[in-house]
Amino acid sequence: MRKLSYREAIREAMVEEMARDEQVVVIGEDVGCYGGCFKVTPGLIERFGTRQVIETPVSEEGLVGVAVGAAMMGMRPIVEIMYGDFSTLAADPIINHAAKMSFMTAGQVSVPMVYRTPMGSGTGAAAQHTQSLEVLFTNVPGLKVVYAATPADAKGLLKSAVRDPGPVIFLEHKLYGTEDIVPEGEYTIPIGQADIKRQGTDVTIVTYGKTVFTALEASQVLEDDEVSVELVDLRSLRPLDTATILASVRKTGRVVVVHEAPGFGGFAGEVISQIVEDPITFAALRAPVARVCGKELPTPFNKTLEMQLPPSSHAIVDAVLSLFPSAV
């Protein structure tokens, strides 16, 4: 079995899809000779040329608008935006056009576009380059939103996103050098299907993106305390695999929801609502639902301070143990 880094897995997915279908094009700032802001696209322009790898001016709204129009005309653009924070600049063509075009034309026009961008902290790039803005998209009908944690999931989900008939927001964490086993050969992962990264019986942790690894670390610590953790990696935020979440919570009776974005108005609220609004799952709860989220403030430039913002494994452990009063 071979190992690929997160960036290599994403690149391999794009190469395979661009070779399979010449209508698949990569559009973005510095995606050609420079190889992309996080070095995901090196070698693409040399292999596929300037027709399939399109360098753009520094205008997120403009380049995404071009991609939306190209998708409407039959192409399948993969847009790369340097930082997820810049999604605020590209919000109009995504939210007001790409998401609504199929509905407004009664299905006559589709927008098969992938919008790739990294989210979250970890780069020491301060407040305007480290936000987690996934809920900017999850509240918009017409958009699919995925957030892969592992290299294998990133490749399989990206290939599915490219082939999807509508716009897909493909969110990436910034641990681009993370390596893991990636299957060889053709495979896809269905959008809307969560993955149980760890089986357990005592408590469910629901998370996605980079905090999957934080939760796995916490799970190892909790194992020493004889607490068996089941870890649900959502992978897809919209559509949400509610069935997998509910089945896990019914089994364990306890749940902690974790993400890097601040808790107020964050995606954890939607996950918790799905749990407590289901009568059978609500009745199965043995303790109140808990959540562990990022701190409610912009990201400081200082790296030591930045490290204090995302959920830590210690905070997750404390939240889990609080659900077992006898263990506290």
Task: Check 60, 80, 230, 306 and give the catalytic one.
Answer: 60
Task: Check 29, 97, 129, 172 and give the catalytic one.
Answer: 129
pLDDT for residue 175 is more than 80: yes
Q: Quote the CA–CA distance of 285 and 276 in Å, as a whole number.
A: 9
pLDDT given for residue 1 in this prediction? 82
Known active-site residue 60: yes
Residues 70-77: what's their mean pLDDT? 97
Residue 327 pLDDT level (bands cut at 50, 70, 90): low
Residue 312, number of CB atoms within 10 A of its CB: 16
Extended strands (E) in the chain? 3-5, 24-28, 53-55, 76-80, 114-118, 144-147, 168-172, 179-181, 195-198, 203-207, 229-233, 236-238, 255-262, 290-294
Q: Quote the CA–CA distance of 98 and 308 in Å, as a whole number.
A: 36
Q: Quote the CA–CA distance of 328 and 317 in Å, as a whole number.
A: 11
Rounded to two decimals, the pTM is 0.96
pLDDT for residue 265 is more than 90: yes
The architecture CATH gives domain 195-327? 3-Layer(aba) Sandwich (3.40)
Known active-site residue 55: no
- For all residues of the chain together, what is the average pLDDT? 96
Residues 90-101: what's their mean pLDDT? 97
pLDDT for residue 212 is more than 60: yes
- Residue 182 corresponds to which tokens in the numbers above? 């990636």
Residue pLDDT, tens place only, 117-157:
999 998 889 999 999 999 999 999 999 999 999 999 999 99
Residues 300-310: what's their mean pLDDT? 92
Q: Quote the CA–CA distance of 23 and 71 in Å, as a whole number.
A: 9
- Residue 15 corresponds to which tokens in the numbers above? 């190469």
pLDDT given for residue 328 in this prediction? 46
First-last CA distance in the chain: 42
pLDDT above 70: percentage of residues in the chain: 99
CATH number among 3.30.410.10, 3.80.10.10, 3.90.1150.10, 3.40.50.970, domain 3-181: 3.40.50.970
Residues 284-306: what's their mean pLDDT? 95
Domain assignments of the chain as residue spans, ordered by start: 3-181, 195-327
